[in-house]
Structure 1
Amino acid sequence: MAKIWRQVTNGLLVLCVLVTLTLGVGVATHFQEVEQLVKTYTLLRFQALEPINTDKLMEGAIRGMVDALDDPYSTYLDAKTYRHLQESVAGSYGGVGLLITLDEKDKRLMVVSPFKGTPAQRAGIKSRDYIVAIDGRDTTGMDLETASNLMQGQPGTRVELTILPAGESNPRKVTLTREIIKVPTVDGKILPGHPGTGYISLTMFNEQTPADLGRLLNELRQQGMQKLILDLRNNPGGALPAAVDVASYFVAKGPVVYIADQKNTEALMARGYAQPLPLVVLVNKGSASAAEIVAGAIKDTGSGTLVGETTFGKGIVQTIFPLPGGAAVKITTHKYLTPGKHDINKKGITPDYVVPMDPQLEQQVLARAPDLERDVQLQKALEVLGK
């Protein structure tokens, strides 16, 4: 009897919390919905054949509220997933090296791009490939954070991905061995045979990227760099502040990007430390998010010329809100506009010079970039700089 009374007491306590929260956010008029919520909690807690504890019910309620947004980028992050995400933003984690999204049409799990030099790229996984299963688990209806969590893990362990290339009907299975994905986000040199022409590749945007880029730019200038090719191909993006800082090396003044929420639009301004020089930016369909912020700022301000293919088209920004107990919610809170007030979400940025590349050739040349012999986009960039 005492046990039953404890269950009832706990249930009533949770009930009070739910009702108080509901009233507190201004939906007291939705009496029927509140009644449904209370009734459902009571049934699940005390009538289900396999009772579920209150913690699980509360977590499910939070997850369900976020899922109700019907936004593939907004999600509930349990403590483990949130910790993995923090590691990734900081610059390293155990995994296979993929940035993923949900296809807008049928909500299938899709690759934005593989990170350079990672198990995913070495296995030939490409931008816009579909991931139809992870270790045999069907990804239909799976949220992004669950999928990321399944692919991450201890270095040396294996994960099997079932991949369906875009436009094909026969999937293939790929077994990848997880590694420490500590992506060196910045790499570059003076191009052989092209004195004075620098080449810098950015693989993603994390907390380390702006400082690493600044150091490399200084080194290349000391080596006589007078022109630059900035390669953002297959760059899946990353942290917004890092994108603004990176763009500030090339955009002399004015807005880098406009960030708009429900009520306001704010301009994020260039930091004022640019040293302009002739610049070509390489982009492709794997250039997304923060990479598009940088490319859009450079194009709209006339700070450089874009060469390649239309970018991915992710023009929205997520904010992470920590919750008690180590969990968090990630919610789409803003959209961004380029300095010319262009909304590129689901559209992408069309380069000044469109240079298509065969997907198989693209995979090969990006794996060993800069490939002066076979990379037609890089060759076009050199031609543009020559003019």
Structure 2
Amino acid sequence: MRRNLRRIINLFLALCVVNTLALMLVVAAYYPKVEQVIRVYTLLRFQALTPPTLDKIFEGAIKGMVESLGDPYSSYLTPEVYRRLEEHVQGTYGGVGLLITLEEKEKRPVVVSPFKGTPAQRAGITSGDYILAIDGRDTAGMDLETAASLMQGEPGTKVELTVLKPGEKEPRRFTLIRETIKIPTVDGRMLPGYPGIGYISLSMFNEQTSGDLGKLLEELRRQGLKALILDLRNNPGGSLQAAVEVASYFIPKGPVVYIVDQKKKEALQATGKYIKLPLVVLVNKGSASAAEIVAGAIKDSGSGVLIGETTFGKGVVQTIFPLKGGAAVKLTTHKYLTPAQKDIDKVGITPDIQVKLDPRLEQEVLSHSPDLERDTQLKKALELLQGKMVTSKAA
């Protein structure tokens, strides 16, 4: 017993020595940098007009470490920002209804898509718009979470956005009244005048989406569903698991997506819910992330036809790691590949049939979908499905 205890103690001491030597070697190798950090800390504490607290210094150090990744999707989340992000994930929050990302060249927030029926969409803010300022605060170099936090707030309060639309020289100012944003999931109906053809719009992906979709599909089948249009336009994405579950309704058995991290590649498989129907998927530049997972799975499996415009191109996945004190770190931990193992990050998915929507009508048409009169992408989908249904009957 004593001999075993002595061995454990000796092993522990050896590990301590090895770790100490390793730390000394690291410090020696990076001594100029370590010396610089110590000097900056000393300057902040004893020379700055308003010295920061130690808490602020440590917070800044953590933020700087995350920013060293150079990844627009990775960031340090203050307790306030993290709390608001959790509210967003849970389904409601106070804000204007925008999904944003960072444009790499300009280093400014850019709109991925507005949520349907929100103050931002009603004001005419659309995918691709640059947000130059929030309440007069310049957004140059601003991280995503700060920009999102500035736009969020108590319902009924005002926020002013300075927005530059692509192709325009002069920015516009929008004064928006924040509302309680209820993040939508699933909407759909049978299309009047088109017997057997159903329309389903997915506005984003959360924990409720798959269940809501399943219920709606059952209801439409009772109404005579024979072919389906799945609208993923301006869908900003959301839960990875929800995307896998949704795609499982539309593709046969096989991989929905490949998830790649530092060490391995893993295929997430369809869950066996497949309903075989003639299918058309509508996509545009506002279709991002989880929406692209679903669209990519359908395109690669050949179970449906994509119509519209090239998607946004967000092929990376983030994980949130909570920290003590209520803060958190959000890191890009995975990238995903389509079933054909295509990397669509910063590239997007090109539809099988490219149809552009008149940019002068896009905002109004998409906010009132399905618009059977003015929506050229929807019209093309109907034309294609009617042809498939006639062919099926003839066979």
Report the TM-score, using the length of structure 2 for normalisation.
0.90
Instruction: Answer yes or no: is the 8 Å Cα contact 1:134–1:162 preserved in 2.
Output: yes
Give the aligned partner of residue 187 of structure 2.
Answer: 187
**CA displacement, residues 90-124 of structure 1 (integer Å, 9 cap, x when unaligned):** 11111000000111222121100101111110000
Separation in 2, partners of 1:131, 1:277: 41
Separation in 1, partners of 2:252, 2:33: 54
Separation in 1, partners of 2:228, 2:132: 40
SS in 1 for 2:253: coil
Give the aligned partner of residue 12 of structure 2.
Answer: none
| Equivalences for residues 188-227 of structure 1 within 5 A | 188-227=188-227
| Equivalences for residues 108-187 of structure 1 within 5 A | 108-187=108-187
SS in 1 for 2:173: strand
Report the TM-score, using the length of structure 1 for normalisation.
0.92
Percent of paired sites with the same residue: 71
| Equivalences for residues 172-321 of structure 1 within 5 A | 172-321=172-321
Separation in 2, partners of 1:41, 1:113: 42
Separation in 2, partners of 1:140, 1:53: 26
Separation in 1, partners of 2:202, 2:52: 47
Separation in 1, partners of 2:172, 2:120: 14
- 1:28 Cα deviation after fit: 6.5
Separation in 2, partners of 1:176, 1:108: 20
Give the aligned partner of residue 97 of structure 1.
Answer: 97
- 1:36 Cα deviation after fit: 2.1
Give the aligned partner of residue 14 of structure 2.
Answer: none
Give the aligned partner of residue 5 of structure 2.
Answer: none
Instruction: Answer yes or no: is the 8 Å Cα contact 1:249–1:275 preserved in 2.
Output: yes
SS in 2 for 1:253: coil
SS in 2 for 1:350: coil
- 1:176 Cα deviation after fit: 0.6
Give the aligned partner of residue 356 of structure 2.
Answer: 356
**CA displacement, residues 297-335 of structure 1 (integer Å, 9 cap, x when unaligned):** 000001111000000111111111111111111111111
Amino acid at match of 1:165: K
- 1:254 Cα deviation after fit: 0.7
Which of 1 and 2 has greater Rg?
2
Q: CA RMSD in A?
A: 1.7
Instruction: Answer yes or no: is the 8 Å Cα contact 1:114–1:127 preserved in 2.
Output: yes
Amino acid at match of 1:286: G
Amino acid at match of 1:103: E
Give the aligned partner of residue 4 of structure 1.
Answer: none
Give the aligned partner of residue 70 of structure 2.
Answer: 70
Amino acid at match of 1:162: T
- 1:48 Cα deviation after fit: 2.0
Structure-2 change in CA distance of 1:23 and 1:159 (3 Å): farther
**CA displacement, residues 231-270 of structure 1 (integer Å, 9 cap, x when unaligned):** 0000111111111111111112111001111221111111
Separation in 2, partners of 1:47, 1:104: 35
SS in 1 for 2:361: helix
- 1:25 Cα deviation after fit: 12
Separation in 2, partners of 1:310, 1:300: 15
Separation in 1, partners of 2:135, 2:286: 25
Give the aligned partner of residue 35 of structure 1.
Answer: 35
Instruction: Answer yes or no: is the 8 Å Cα contact 1:191–1:197 preserved in 2.
Output: yes
Give the aligned partner of residue 6 of structure 1.
Answer: none
Structure-2 change in CA distance of 1:85 and 1:26 (3 Å): farther
**CA displacement, residues 171-195 of structure 1 (integer Å, 9 cap, x when unaligned):** 1100111111102210000011112
Separation in 2, partners of 1:293, 1:261: 17
Separation in 1, partners of 2:41, 2:221: 65
SS in 2 for 1:383: helix
Separation in 1, partners of 2:150, 2:192: 42
- 1:152 Cα deviation after fit: 0.3
The unaligned stretches of length 5 or more in structure 1 are 1-18
Separation in 1, partners of 2:23, 2:50: 31
SS in 1 for 2:40: helix
**CA displacement, residues 46-104 of structure 1 (integer Å, 9 cap, x when unaligned):** 33221111000000000011111111111100011111111111111110000001112
The alignment status of 1:347 with 2:353, answered yes or no, reads no
Instruction: Answer yes or no: is the 8 Å Cα contact 1:237–1:288 preserved in 2.
Output: yes
Structure-2 change in CA distance of 1:28 and 1:185 (3 Å): farther
Separation in 2, partners of 1:28, 1:305: 60
- 1:136 Cα deviation after fit: 0.7
SS in 2 for 1:233: coil
Structure-2 change in CA distance of 1:204 and 1:36 (3 Å): same
- 1:377 Cα deviation after fit: 0.2
The alignment status of 1:325 with 2:328, answered yes or no, reads no
SS in 1 for 2:182: coil
The unaligned stretches of length 5 or more in structure 2 are 1-18, 388-395
SS in 2 for 1:187: strand
Give the aligned partner of residue 10 of structure 1.
Answer: none
Structure-2 change in CA distance of 1:59 and 1:24 (3 Å): farther
Separation in 2, partners of 1:250, 1:217: 11
Instruction: Answer yes or no: is the 8 Å Cα contact 1:91–1:207 preserved in 2.
Output: no
